[in-house]
Every structure is written in structure tokens, then in C-alpha cells.
Structure 1
């Protein structure tokens, strides 16, 4: 067992893949798999709450509840005062869970059919609650009985350890069970124990806030030994670029930023977005950065290291282009040419909105991947609303299955995709998607997406493939927020200047 570590890629499996693995893992295990899972839960409970006297375990009707019962048995045998609230009729549920219930009863574990409110009031911060109500297949809104358990855990002084997934969280999407119409009621766990594989919902959406510290006990699962098709892989940290001594500015690529509609054009000055993307590309080590305004700028200050050039003078076939940052309505006039001629392209923000509204631009975006005369590589970087516009759906549909939405965009437009948000997803045709776990709420401000677009462009200019550039840039973007100095406000301009190779 170990904490989830981003230092190496780890496969993210769905419930179906986990269930297909269980017979093979059971064949390798000397004990029933549920007993191994329960023992793992008990060991983690002892490690995170070594001085606990009381442990309350809320148990549901399925295998997740069986894991909780096995944990209860082990903790009882270790001398803890354990109370189990069984929120399911006795005699129902899977056979393994029924066997676990029988073992717990025979061992003398105290079982109730309700929440012991008075007993819970006597618990302290050294004690522990264990959430074993719902497992990895949960999809429905919580029943009143389960809601009562969740509310009791939230009001209890003792921290919570969730087994598999915090109750109330959709294990696949990271949204609340029941979607937008469901109640925003979920266990806020201090720790979550994942068994066999981490579920995608723990790594995105509300899962980042409700899961606490994620632990993984693989129960014998070895990705290189067991055939299992992952939904995604964890995105690994950014690797620092090492430059050869015998290099020059032309060795590290030219990045052109096309964007920045002025205040005079439509009453909203967006020159700053293009400057942020240019600053990011500059600090990320691009050899040369060129800024091409869409309209006459409003007297803004451009870093002296950034060259400025009219759009008509850009040799797009020789450049790594970042287009759309602060582009406004003016982007539409240049986008057909940008899509047709740019050797490598990062399309962001208003560029994506223009594509979503125009079938011809959508076809032009797809055509960039065609082999004749030569394939041109593209990364698009939508947030959920922009992704919904491109997919002709709504934001809740995107958020309900972010991995699928990102892959659908990649396949539809034949490009690499960064679906931004809590747990950004990177997808591309022919690649298993990546889920990025670096970053935090400090990035939820205007301009950080422009910084990311410039960073992706710089990584492509330095020779990375579109998919690898997207993965590296997203990881580094989040890592900077994770290491941001405490007490210092994160702004997009400061973030852009903090980037290094």
C-alpha cells in the first residue's frame, strides 16, 4: 500500500475492468479477496488513527460494505471499540458480503441498523469513521438513509476514511451522484483507500476536494502482468529540458502568438491575453517569440524580448502558432489561413469558439491531420463550456464523462486535446488519455489558460510531439500552482514569469 504517486504512470481502470480482474487476482491470493481488502482497510485505519479508541463504520449493501465488515472484524480483534451501522437488510447482497457479515457477527462486532448519534458525540479527533457505504459502481442519488449517514460523518469530530470512493461522489466523473440535479451531499474524507486501481472520479471534479489523501492497495494487480485496458493513465511530472551547449536561438523553435483584440474593436480590451501567452512561451524557453496583433493594440506594454510583426508577414508554415488568446470576433478573419498554413498549431479560447460556430472551420481543423500534402499537428485547449460547444452538447454532459468527451474531441478533429478543469484530461487519436493531478484552485482565475496555451506552444517548438507537449505543459502548469509561495497571490502574469525550462 502506498500513497498515490505521480512520479510514475499508473493505469486508471473502470468498474468493469476491475471486476474482470478480480478472478485472476483471487487465484493469486491465499485469502478471499474481500478479506484482503478488509485487512488493508484495517491496517490503514491503524496507521492514520493509531490512538483511536472508537471506530464507527457505515456499511452499505454491496461488496464495498463487505470490505467494511472485514475491516470492522480486524479492528475489533485489535482491541478497538467498533460499532457498525448496517444500512442494508441482513441476508441481502453478494455472497462474499454475506460471509463477511457472518464472520463479523461471530467475532462479536457490534452491529446496528441505525446511526448511533449519541455514541458518535463522544468520539474525538483521535477516533475514526469509515465510509463503506457505496463502491465503484455507484450512480444513483443517495437514499434518505445514506444521506443520514453522510451527514453524521460530516458532523462528527473524528476524521473519515473512505473505502473505494467517498459516498455521494460519482466514482467515474467526479461529479455528485445524480448529476446537477442531485444533491451536493458527499462525504469529505481525510483519506480514501483505493483497491486494485484508482477510480477516475477521485482525480477530477469534486473528487479532488472530497477524497483527501488517496492511498492505493493493488491487491496483487500488476499492470505489466495482467491484461486490463485502462480508461486513462496518470499524467507524470514535467521533465526539465536540457539544452546542448552547441545550440542557438534557432535551435529552440519560433512561436507566434496570434490574438489580442483591442478595446476599440468591440468594447473589451483583450490584448493582455496574447501578452500572457507570449510571456509564457518566452519563459518556457522558445528560441524566438513573435506577437501578431489582430487589431491595433491599446498602448499595452510588450516584453522587450518579444518581437512584433503584422499577421500578413508571418511565415506560418515555419512557425509554431498559438492562436485565439483574446482574439474576440477579430479571430474569424484570420482563422481559415491559420488552419490551412500553420505548421504546428495550438488553438485556444476565441479560436475554438469560432470553430464551434462554423462547419467549414471544423472541416479545416480536421483536414490538418490529412497526410496530403503533409500532416500538420494541432493541440486544442478547451474548458468544459468550449468543449460543449465543439461537441454540440451541454457542459453537464461534458463533465459527466470528461475522459469520453476529451477522446471524442480528439477523434472528431484528429488532434490532441487538453480538456481543462479539475483533473485536466489530455487525449489524442491512438493514445490512451492522461489525467493530470497537479494543480489546485489557485489556477481558477482569468489568464491562466492563456499561459497554458503559450507553454504548450513552446514545448512543441522545442521538439515534443503534440500529445507529449500537451502532457508536459499541463503537468508543469499545475506543478507551479502546487509550489506557489504561501501568502503570495497567484496571478496569470506572475505565473507566466515563473515558468522555466
Structure 2
């Protein structure tokens, strides 16, 4: 066993996550060469070590143990913590059991229960009928969630669900064993009530990292994620479900580039115009401006900004005079489009129907967002045109509702399996799909999807998606032969800017985010 385990996930280090099915296969292979109970003992001991490091002052600890092997892990942890507190001469551990006494525990878990009894752990049974107030100790300083693991089925009404929901809502620190109880380890799906605020949470992933901890509701419910491989090496032929993280904060600064480089060396971005206020009384031109400013700060050599109406008299952006304004016909010339990385759909409105087919047919590289995605969702011919482009030159950036429209599903279906939805869209439309949200997923028709490790709720404000589209476009323009890597780097930086935002500067707005953008 490595002295470095458990280890906290480092977002600058690329991690591999494995499905439940693959993890089960790895577990069975490992168990075949080990004495019975070895993996459970290692898991429980690792949990006890992590709890002592994470909450070193905790002296009153409650461990909630379910009817399977996850509960057995909890019992081993309870025994180890009980013995530790005995050496200190203070503190108390209570293990709360939720299983039907008439149904025997699995072999390893039954062994863990006998060992806990022999060690003198305070064992109590949770009621099989739900109650308004969770019965575990109200004076406990920290809880361990060993109720349900990766093999749990979707929870229906009953004591298991009520206990899982209560653990998720509890404001005290909770250490979850492998996954938060009730969370789908493959998808991050959560069917219970969500906490109204973020509580202190940590999850110790056992044997492998699970995708559901990294995206969707898993990000909040799991909290800080740690990994202990339990001394088991993952076989080389084990199928990886997704990658996570892997990028730092190093900017792609031009200072170290060749002296002979010029603005043409960094690509040209064109942002198609947003909807004009004069046509419908609903102006959306600001979305395109945000995307263009972000592309400029993200290092594009030149950025052209389409103006929404030929009668527009504005000739320059007083905040960002480097942007080159163009009437729409000047951007739609096929040879011109072929040399550009185009951002289309940011505030485009209904008027984009007149120019979107030409952009799909001729743009050298394309980032399609917002109204552009809605237009494609409603038009089979536009979908065909998108497929013909080639995925290495085309990125879509939907939020879950836009993804649902493109797939013909509900938003709930998309959120129930974000990895699956992003991969389905990438294959269906032959694009790189950036499915925005907690744990943004980037997927392509070839290769593995990737989950972003950065970002927080500061991005939950109008216009930040337009900024992302501009940053992605600049990355593609600068690195035209490295589409997937460039897109992932831009997504990472977009989230990192929110994470590192100085609260002393006030609330993060999309305009401020665009100014903070930098090359990748």
C-alpha cells in the first residue's frame, strides 16, 4: 500500500474514470488473488485515515451503514476510528445499521460487523420506517456515509431513500464512501431533494474514480474527491469511461513565440451579428460583442464583428477599438468565410436563418451556440449541412435545454446522463460537443469524452456562455490542427477565471470575464 494514498484529486493532473461495470470487473479480478475481506479492510482503514486528516478535531463520529458491502466498509472504518479514540481516551463512535436482521449481510460485511461488535463499537439500528428527524446522533460532529455504494439501484420510497436524502441535507461534515448514497456513479444522476446550500463534503472513491462524481449533481454532493486504489493496479485493457482535468494555469503567452510572428499567425475570428433592436424590439447584439471581445483577449490575431443592420452607423467599438466591424455581406463571401473561425448564434435571433446555411457550408472553422443551435434543432437540412463539415472543424456549445432540443429529448433526460448526451450529440451531428453545466463535458465522435475540473456558480450570469464561445473560437484559430485539445483548454480556462476571480472586484459579469480571458 502506498503511503501517499488516499490522495486528493489534483485538477492539473489528468485522471481516468471508470464505469461501474469496469470497476466491478477490476474488483473481482483483484479479489481472486487476495484473502477474503482484504479490499474491505483496506477501504475501511483508508476511510478512517482520511477522516482523521480531514476532520482532525472530530471526537464524536456517527457512521451510517447500509445493507451491502458499502456498509461493511463503514463498519471497518468505525472499528478503526473507535480504536483510535480509545488510545486518545476521549470521543465516541456510533455505527448506525440500516438492514433487515432477517436478511444476512454479505460475507465480508458480516465479518466486519462481528469485528465491530468484538471491538466494542456502539452499534445501533436505524428504524425501518422513516421519521421526520434523522435518528442518528444530533451531537455527532461528523458523519460517514456508508449507506449505499456503486451497486445501488435508483431509490424508491422507503427508509433507504429517506436516509440517503437526510445525509445529503445534513449541514455537518460528511465523508461519503465511494459515492454519496443515492448518486448514480456512472452519470451523476440524483433523484432526491438538493441541499439549499453547499455543506462540507468529501468523497473517498475506492479502487477507481467514478464519472458520476465529476459532473452533474455529483460535483456538489461529492464535495472534495479523494481516491484510494486499495493497492490494486488497473489492468491496461480496462476500458476508461472518461478523462477529467489535466490543465494548469499557464497562459499561452506570445512572448516566447518566434519574433517573426505576426497577427496573421494567430488566426482570424469572425463573430456573426446578434439580433438588432430595431427589428423586434428585443436586441441581442451584446452577445456577439461579448464573444468578439473574449476572442480578442484570448489571443486571436484579428477579430471581425458583424453588425446586425446595414443602416447601423456605429463604426467602432469604443471599449475595444481593435475589433473590426463588418456589415454582414462582407463576411458571407465564401472565400472569406473559408479563412475564418466563425462564431454563430450568439444573440442571432430569428434573422440568422438567412445566413446560417452559407456559414455552415463555407466557414473554415465554426463555433455554433445558442440561437444557431435552436435553428439546427428545427431544420433537418441544417443538421445535414452540419454533419458534412467534419468534426475537427466544428464545435457546438449547448446548455442542457439546447442539447435536449437537438436530441429530441427532455432536459431531465440530458441531465440524467450528461456524458451520454454529449457523446450522442457529437456522434449525431459529427461535431465536438461542449455540454455546459456543472462538470462541463467535451465529447467528439472519436476518442474519449473529457470532464472539466474548473468552474463555479460565478458563471451563472447572462453572457458567460457567449464569452466561452469567443474563447473557444480563438483557441481553434490559434491551433487549427489541435481541435479537441484546444477546446478543452479554453473550457478549462473559462472555468478557472471564475474560480480565481477576486471577490474584491465585485460580482463577476460576462464583460469582466471577457476582459480577463487570455490565450491558451
- TM-score, scaled relative to structure 2: 0.88
Match of 1:100 in 2: 112
Match of 1:497 in 2: 515
Closer, same or farther: CA 294–56 of 1 in aligned 2, 3 Å:
same
Deviation digits for residues 314-369 of structure 1 (CA, Å, limit 9, x no counterpart): 30011111111110001111011000001111111111110000000000000112
| Alpha-carbon distance between aligned partners in 2 of 1:389 and 1:170, rounded to the nearest angstrom | 24
| Alpha-carbon distance between aligned partners in 2 of 1:462 and 1:37, rounded to the nearest angstrom | 46
Say whether 1:21 aligns with 2:31.
no
Q: 1:253 aligns with which of 267, 282, 289?
A: 267
| Alpha-carbon distance between aligned partners in 2 of 1:299 and 1:60, rounded to the nearest angstrom | 66
Match of 1:306 in 2: 323
Contact 1:138/1:171 (8 A) holds in 2: no
Q: 1:112 aligns with which of 124, 143, 152?
A: 124
Match of 1:292 in 2: 306
Match of 2:215 in 1: 204
* Uncovered stretches (5+) of structure 1, i.e. residues with no partner: 370-374
| Alpha-carbon distance between aligned partners in 2 of 1:390 and 1:159, rounded to the nearest angstrom | 40
Which stretch of the first structure deviates more once superposed, 431-440 or 147-156?
Answer: 147-156
Q: CA deviation at 1:107?
A: 2.3
| Alpha-carbon distance between aligned partners in 2 of 1:342 and 1:108, rounded to the nearest angstrom | 71
Q: 1:137 aligns with which of 151, 161, 172?
A: 151
| Alpha-carbon distance between aligned partners in 1 of 2:135 and 2:70, rounded to the nearest angstrom | 26
Q: CA deviation at 1:283?
A: 0.2
Q: CA deviation at 1:313?
A: 2.1
Which stretch of the first structure deviates more once superposed, 466-475 or 241-250?
Answer: 241-250
Q: How many residues align?
A: 488
Match of 2:415 in 1: 399
Closer, same or farther: CA 298–53 of 1 in aligned 2, 3 Å:
farther
Secondary structure of the residue that 1:350 maps to in structure 2? Answer: helix
| Alpha-carbon distance between aligned partners in 2 of 1:198 and 1:277, rounded to the nearest angstrom | 35
CA RMSD for the aligned pairs?
Answer: 2.4
| Alpha-carbon distance between aligned partners in 1 of 2:136 and 2:518, rounded to the nearest angstrom | 54
Match of 2:16 in 1: 11
Closer, same or farther: CA 137–307 of 1 in aligned 2, 3 Å:
same
Q: CA deviation at 1:188?
A: 4.9
Closer, same or farther: CA 156–340 of 1 in aligned 2, 3 Å:
closer
Match of 1:372 in 2: none
Q: CA deviation at 1:213?
A: 1.6
- TM-score, scaled relative to structure 1: 0.91
Match of 2:462 in 1: 446
Closer, same or farther: CA 288–129 of 1 in aligned 2, 3 Å:
same
Question: Which contiguous aligned blocks of 4+ residues in structure 1 show a shift greater than 3 angstroms?
Answer: 24-31, 115-119, 146-158, 182-189, 296-301
Q: 1:32 aligns with which of 38, 44, 51?
A: 38
Match of 2:436 in 1: 420
Match of 1:56 in 2: 62
Deviation digits for residues 98-134 of structure 1 (CA, Å, limit 9, x no counterpart): 22222222222221112797872333xxx32111001
Contact 2:48/2:81 (8 A) holds in 1: yes
| Alpha-carbon distance between aligned partners in 2 of 1:399 and 1:361, rounded to the nearest angstrom | 25
| Alpha-carbon distance between aligned partners in 2 of 1:151 and 1:463, rounded to the nearest angstrom | 46
Secondary structure of the residue that 2:420 maps to in structure 1? Answer: helix
Q: CA deviation at 1:432?
A: 0.2
Contact 2:189/2:417 (8 A) holds in 1: no
Q: CA deviation at 1:146?
A: 3.2
Closer, same or farther: CA 28–267 of 1 in aligned 2, 3 Å:
farther
| Alpha-carbon distance between aligned partners in 2 of 1:459 and 1:119, rounded to the nearest angstrom | 52
Closer, same or farther: CA 65–362 of 1 in aligned 2, 3 Å:
same
Q: CA deviation at 1:26?
A: 3.5
| Alpha-carbon distance between aligned partners in 2 of 1:152 and 1:241, rounded to the nearest angstrom | 46
| Alpha-carbon distance between aligned partners in 2 of 1:499 and 1:222, rounded to the nearest angstrom | 40
Q: 1:273 aligns with which of 284, 287, 302?
A: 287
Match of 2:3 in 1: none
Contact 1:342/1:376 (8 A) holds in 2: no
Q: CA deviation at 1:154?
A: 6.6
Q: CA deviation at 1:160?
A: 1.4
Match of 1:326 in 2: 347
Q: 1:228 aligns with which of 229, 233, 238?
A: 238
Say whether 1:237 aligns with 2:247.
yes
Secondary structure of the residue that 1:120 maps to in structure 2? Answer: coil
Q: 2:95 aligns with which of 54, 70, 84?
A: 84
Which stretch of the first structure deviates more once superposed, 62-71 or 229-238?
Answer: 229-238
